[in-house]
Amino acid sequence: MELNQVTLPVKNMADAVHFYLTLGFTQIVDTPHYARFTCPDGDATFSLSLDDGEFENPTVIYFEHKELDELYNTLSQKGILFEQAPTEQRYLWKEAILRDPSGNKIKLYWAGENRLNPPWKVDKGA
């Protein structure tokens, strides 16, 4: 099985689409109530769905990028506001935190080998 996509709720489609295009994603579906994007690297996609009601989405979406510091600087220069600059975490990932215009939490990160093989990886063969 392979993860195909994650869909985020948004309050304003135009603002959200502009935000994700600024982050560097490529839009492949454009309707008044739904938008879908491909990620700059790999085959993953994600989408946005217009939600007319009030919501608070507790989900965090992660986008991995090897040159995280450069991406952070580039996006900051484009006016993207971050809650946290790239910071080394105790779980061996480096993360920057931001929110889209609808309040969805996003972490841009780089984990390298530790993403799939952290030192505390569970050994199911034992």
Classify each residue of 32-67 as buried b or exposed e, where b means 16 or more C-beta atoms within 10 Å of its C-beta: eeebbbebeeeebbbbbebeeeeeeeeeeeebbbee
**How far is residue 27's CA from residue 24's CA, in Å, rounded to a whole number?**
10
Q: What phi and psi, each to the nearest 5 degrees, are found at residue 121?
A: -55, 140
Contact 65, 108 (CB under 8 A): yes
Give the position of tokens 């889209």. 100
Tell me the pLDDT tens digit for each residue of 44-88. 999 999 999 898 899 999 999 999 999 999 999 999 999 999 999
Tell me the pLDDT tens digit for each residue of 13-53. 999 999 999 999 999 999 999 999 999 988 899 999 999 98
What is the layout of strands, in order, in the sheet containing 82-88?
Answer: 60-64, 105-110, 94-99, 82-88
pTM above 0.75, yes or no: yes
**How far is residue 13's CA from residue 51's CA, in Å, rounded to a whole number?**
9
Domains contained in the chain, CATH given: 7-114 (3.10.180.10)
Q: What phi and psi, each to the nearest 5 degrees, are found at residue 70?
A: -65, -45
Task: Return the CA Rg of the chain.
Answer: 16
